[in-house]
């Protein structure tokens, strides 16, 4: 297979933990050809097919210079996306207007015969925080609104709450407001921009002290280990990007119940890889853009997550 990874600049990868790198390494180990591009490299000329300036790469095994982009004698070459056996969309959030337009270009490439994972339309249809609202049986009390009074009423009912922007990533913009309501007004104004922007409000889950668990679904099936991202010090956020400690652990019975309910639904929509965030017994996010934690789980638990993913990619790309 010839696999194209649409990702952030290769030069920015932290390969000791990067999930896209782990996918590439496993693909190359199996003899697949690996290419990469950024969303900024994708173009579509009227009357033609969607194309990109791609880099054909070989992984070197050298952590200082981990890839060679001159595999075909060119640093970049033009290629039509439909010519690849599989395209793996791994552009990191935020889901902004440029990401949105990229999904449209990739969807056109699908019409031309490309096979894209995760499916572009499903990336648009599953905003990572709002997506949980489809599964209320697995979520704690949650409110999405831009109305300040709605937020105040939610706080009055639940007393200890979390507020977050709908387009945040890596734990950015998350606030906790306890029973005293300290700074609630200013936090609402910051997040909803005086009523111009929606935000999410959730009842605080004290189980966060044991970790915000990332449960991976690959091809609709759960990886048997989660990565519990445990807040450190006085932090309320377990995100690795803000210093949380990642600890791999077997799925709990509740984790499996959630995974087995969501997996078949999401894979049927073209979501080959999903990262479900679980605190205690409740789903807090459903991540579909570029879920991570492959290497941490592999390194700590010994389960080969990249191999499971490439297995699923090979099967999906050939219609298996």
List 26, 192, 237, 239, catalytic entry: 237
CATH code (residue 194)? 3.30.1490.20
Q: What integer pLDDT is reported at residue 72 of this predicted model?
A: 65
Active site residue 229: yes
CATH code (residue 8)? 3.40.50.20
Q: What integer pLDDT is reported at residue 234 of this predicted model?
A: 75
Q: Are 9 and 113 part of one and the same domain?
A: yes
Exposed, middle or buried by CB within 10 Å (0-12, 13-18, 19+), for 95?
A: buried
End position of a domain, from candidates 204, 230, 257:
204
Q: Are 16 and 101 part of one and the same domain?
A: yes
Q: Are 110 and 145 part of one and the same domain?
A: no
Global model pTM greater than 0.75: yes
Q: What is the pLDDT of residues 200-215, one digit of tens each?
A: 999 999 999 999 999 9
CATH code (residue 285)? 3.30.470.20
Q: Are 195 and 235 part of one and the same domain?
A: no
What whole-number distance in Å separates Cα of residue 268 and Cα of residue 272?
9
Active site residue 214: yes
The length of the chain, given as a count of residues: 320
Number of folded domains that form the chain = 3
pLDDT at 2 over 80: yes
Active site residue 277: yes
List 110, 192, 229, 239, catalytic entry: 229
Q: Are 186 and 289 part of one and the same domain?
A: no
Q: What is the pLDDT of residues 139-165, one digit of tens each?
A: 999 999 999 999 999 999 999 999 999
DSSP 8-state secondary structure symbol assigned to residue 91 = P
Active site residue 129: yes
- Range(s) of the domain holding residue 148: 141-204
Active site residue 256: no
Q: Are 214 and 295 part of one and the same domain?
A: yes
Q: What angle do CA 149, 155, 157 make, to 5 degrees?
A: 105
| Banded model confidence at residue 91, pLDDT cuts 50, 70, 90 | very high
- Report yes or no on 79 lying in a domain: yes
43-60 in b/e form (b: 16+ CB < 10 A) is ebeeeebbbbbbbbbebe
List 25, 90, 203, 214, catalytic entry: 214
Q: Are 195 and 111 part of one and the same domain?
A: no
Active site residue 287: yes
Q: What is the pLDDT of residues 63-88, one digit of tens each?
A: 999 999 876 666 889 999 999 999 99
Q: Are 200 and 212 part of one and the same domain?
A: no
Q: Are 163 and 225 part of one and the same domain?
A: no
Active site residue 164: yes
């Amino acid at each position: 297979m010839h696999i194209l990874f649409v990702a952030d600049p290769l030069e920015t990868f932290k390969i000791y933990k990067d999930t896209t790198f782990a996918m590439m390494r496993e693909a190359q180990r199996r003899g697949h050809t690996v290419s990469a591009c950024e969303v900024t490299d994708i173009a579509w000329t009227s009357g033609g097919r969607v194309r990109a300036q791609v880099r054909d790469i070989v992984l070197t095994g050298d952590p200082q210079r981990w890839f060679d982009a001159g595999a075909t004698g060119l640093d970049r070459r033009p290629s039509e996306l439909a010519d690849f056996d599989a395209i793996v969309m791994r552009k990191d959030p935020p889901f902004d207007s440029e990401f949105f337009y990229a999904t449209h270009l990739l969807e056109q490439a699908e019409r031309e015969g490309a096979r894209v994972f995760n499916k572009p339309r499903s990336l648009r249809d599953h905003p990572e925080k709002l997506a949980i609202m489809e599964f209320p049986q697995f979520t704690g009390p949650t409110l999405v609104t831009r109305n300040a009074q709605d937020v105040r009423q939610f706080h009055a009912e639940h007393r200890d709450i979390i507020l977050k922007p709908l387009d945040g990533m890596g734990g950015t913009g998350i606030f906790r407001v306890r029973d005293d309501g300290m700074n609630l007004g200013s936090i609402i104004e910051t997040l909803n921009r005086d009523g111009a922007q929606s935000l999410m409000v959730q009842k605080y889950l004290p189980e966060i002290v044991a970790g915000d668990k990332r449960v991976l679904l690959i091809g609709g099936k759960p990886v048997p280990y989660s990565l519990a991202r445990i807040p450190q010090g006085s932090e309320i956020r377990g995100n690795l990007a803000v210093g949380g400690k990642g600890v791999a652990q077997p799925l709990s019975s509740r984790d499996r119940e959630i995974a087995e309910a969501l997996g078949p639904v999401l894979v049927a929509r073209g979501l080959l890889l999903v990262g479900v965030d679980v605190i205690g017994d409740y789903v807090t996010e459903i991540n579909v853009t570029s879920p991570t934690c492959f290497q941490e789980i592999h390194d700590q638990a010994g389960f080969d997550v990249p191999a499971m993913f490439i297995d699923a990619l090979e099967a999906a790309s050939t219609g298996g």
